[in-house]
Amino acid sequence: MPKTLAEKVYDAHVVRSADGEPDLLYIDLHLVHEVTSPQAFDGLRAAGRTVRRPDLTMATEDHNVPTLDILSPIADPISRAQVDALRRNTAEFGIRLAPMGDRDQGIVHVIGPQLGLTQPGMTIVCGDSHTSTHGAFGALAFGIGTSEVEHVLATQTLPQYKPKQMAVTVDGELPPGVSAKDVILAVIAQIGTGGGQGYVIEYRGSAIEKLSMEARMTICNMSIEAGAKAGLIAPDQTTFDFLQGRPHAPQGADWDAAVAEWSTLRTDADAVFDAEVHIDATSLTPFVTWGTNPGQGLPIDASVPDPADFADEGDRRAAEQALEYMGLTPGTRLRDIEVDTVFLGSCTNGRIEDLRVAAELLRGKRIDADTRMLVVPGSVAVKAQAETEGLDRVFLDAGAEWRGAGCSMCLGMNPDQLKPGERSASTSNRNFQGRQGKGGRTHLVSPAVAAATALTGRLTAPADLIGA
């Protein structure tokens, strides 16, 4: 029977299946961070269990970590206790940890690919919804809860039902200044935050094939914002080139065997998807969100919508609540919205390519005097690479802050937070109420829009800067 890429990966990992029961799926890589794991390790201890495959498990400190003064103990005692718990747990169970200050430390979804641990055809899980990021390599990667973290630690498997299959095809050439972030925001605005529910999304089409690995990760990352279980992209030469030579990538004869297997990881020509969505890349423009869920987004040329124009009662109420929280009036041009803070970072857009795009727009310029810009590399390695390229100087000379690696203002578990009523343009993935700090207001944008916005202090497309 013809199969989709996701079905091939899924089927290759079924340990056991029986009628009336979920399949037991083998997990190739389990990524762990400090927030969703302490109760799982406690559960193991309470039941007298061990970690079945510490060698297929990798932990990092990311959500709580400060981005300033990282070699001192964490000032917040509760954050420190959580990080300390991870250190104790990984030491006790023999799991590799990249702690603060380590060369491998960073956001969990940045370090997996960077180390070459994320490879095509794998099953990858983490107690974190943005695990879908790893799907960019043609892996089946999805977020799990803490009980499931415990299950994977104990058995290296998970009970699963085969998800439904959705194809999102993006054809054509992306216009200049339009990036992967705009593609995925447009997809979510089109299908809605529940549109992908129960599905794995395969992104395909000529526009996707042309994207770099970083850009593909940005797209797969936000599959969860469309409600999907996972998102993935068939591996190709771009994927192999990214992986070759990375610390945990196969070498020599193993590399050849791996590439031979990875090359089979494509959806069969006559495979059937349960749902299909088509996007014309040539029609896309920079996208920004105006509301409090990632589906509430529009092209930057648009204006804040009027809730009265929504046909569905629930959507109307949601829009009213969102505008009230965001402090926005219907009809305001999105370009006229002033921001206090620009955040460049996160597992969506904290990779080297994202920093390069933003730095190019900022080079030789100064950001708006009333706007602060926080640049937070996704990992220690991204930070080091950026510094080698001199990007840190570009950001600092423009008046931005250059920070240490971590999740930072993506979710504000560390001191990097918005104040009540403050407004941000953020390259992260969630504009939920209070996500970046109590009462903070978030507009999701691409790295290019973030940099352009930092220069003017208002939501701005890179193209607006020409001749400005």
Partner 1 sequence: MDAFTTHTGTAAPLRRTNVDTDQIIPAEYLKRITRTGFEDGLFVAWRTNEPDFVLNRPEYANASILVAGPDFGTGSSREHANWALLDGGFRVVISPRFADIFRNNSTKAGLLTVVLPEADVEALWAAIEADPALPVTVDLQAEQVTYGDVTVPFQIDPYTRWRLLEGLDDVGLTERHLDDIQAFENARPAWKPKALPAV
**Of the candidates 179, 167, 464, the residue with the CA atom closest to the CA atom of residue 344:** 179
| Tokens of residue 411, six digits | 């979710």
Taking residues 84 to 113 in sequence order and writing x for each that binds ligand SF4 by CB under 6 A, - otherwise, the string is -----------------------xxx----
Report if residue 435 touches ligand SF4, rule: CB under 6 A: no
407 touching ligand SF4, by CB under 6 A = yes
Site for partner 1 in 178-207 (CB under 8 A): 193-194, 197-198
Closer by beta carbon to ligand SF4, 304 or else 358: 358
Task: Pick one of ligand SF4, partner 1, none as the site partner of residue 107 (Cβ within 5 to 8 A by kind).
Answer: ligand SF4
Residue of the chain from 266, 430, 443, 458 that contacts partner 1 (CB under 8 A)? 430
Residues 6+ apart with CB under 8 A from 107: 60, 62, 346, 347, 350, 378, 379, 405, 406, 407
By CB under 6 A, name the one of 8, 13, 30, 130 that touches ligand SF4. 130
What sign has the CA pseudo-torsion 69, 444, 368, 176?
Answer: positive
Task: Spell out, one character per residue from 352 to 391, where the chain touches partner 1: x when CB under 8 A holds, - when not.
Answer: ----------------------------------------
Member of 56, 347, 381, 461 binding ligand SF4 (CB under 6 A): 347
Among 263, 293, 385, 456, binds partner 1 (CB under 8 A): 293
Eight-class DSSP state of 55: G
Q: Which does 428 bind (CB under 5 to 8 A by kind): ligand SF4, partner 1, none?
A: ligand SF4
- Identify the residue among 3, 70, 85, 171 touching partner 1 (CB under 8 A): 85
Q: Return the range that interacts with partner 1 (CB under 8 A); candidates 143-151, 212-220, 335-343, 394-402.
A: 143-151
C-alpha–C-alpha distance, residues 388 and 356, integer Å: 12
Least distance from partner 1 to the Cβ atom of residue 110, Å: 15
Q: Is the backbone of residue 412 left (phi > 0), alpha (psi -120 to 50) or beta?
A: left
The Cβ of residue 353 has, within 10 Å, a number of other Cβ atoms equal to 18
- Return the residue of 89, 349, 371, 429 that touches ligand SF4, per CB under 6 A: 429
Q: Which does 38 bind (CB under 5 to 8 A by kind): partner 1, ligand SF4, none?
A: partner 1
Residue 411 sits in the site that holds partner 1 (CB under 8 A): yes
Report if residue 257 touches partner 1, rule: CB under 8 A.
yes
Candidates 8, 13, 30, 63: give the one binding ligand SF4 (CB under 6 A).
63
Candidate residues 70, 93, 99, 155; the one interacting with partner 1 per rule CB under 8 A:
155
The Cβ-side half-sphere exposure at 429, using a 13 Å CA radius, reads: 26
Q: Does 13 bind ligand SF4 (CB under 6 A)?
A: no
Q: Using the minimum distance from each CB to partner 1, give the nearer residue, 13 or 204.
A: 13
Cβ density class 394-431: b for 16+ within 10 Å, e for less = bbeebbbebbbbbbbbbbbbbebbbeeebbbbbbbbbb
CA distance 22 to 91: 33
* Chain-centroid distance, C-alpha 270: 31
For tokens 């996160």, what's the residue? 346
DSSP-derived pairing of the beta strands 57-60 and 96-98: parallel
- Give the nearest distance from C-beta 347 to ligand SF4 in angstroms: 3
How long is the chain?
Answer: 468
* Cross-strand bridge partners of residue 265: none
Task: Give the nearer residue to ligand SF4 in terms of CB position, either 134 or 151.
Answer: 134
Tell me how far CA of residue 279 lies from CA of 169, 208, 447, 457, in angstroms: 6, 11, 21, 31
Q: Which does 309 bind (CB under 5 to 8 A by kind): partner 1, ligand SF4, none?
A: none
Q: Does 82 bind partner 1 (CB under 8 A)?
A: yes
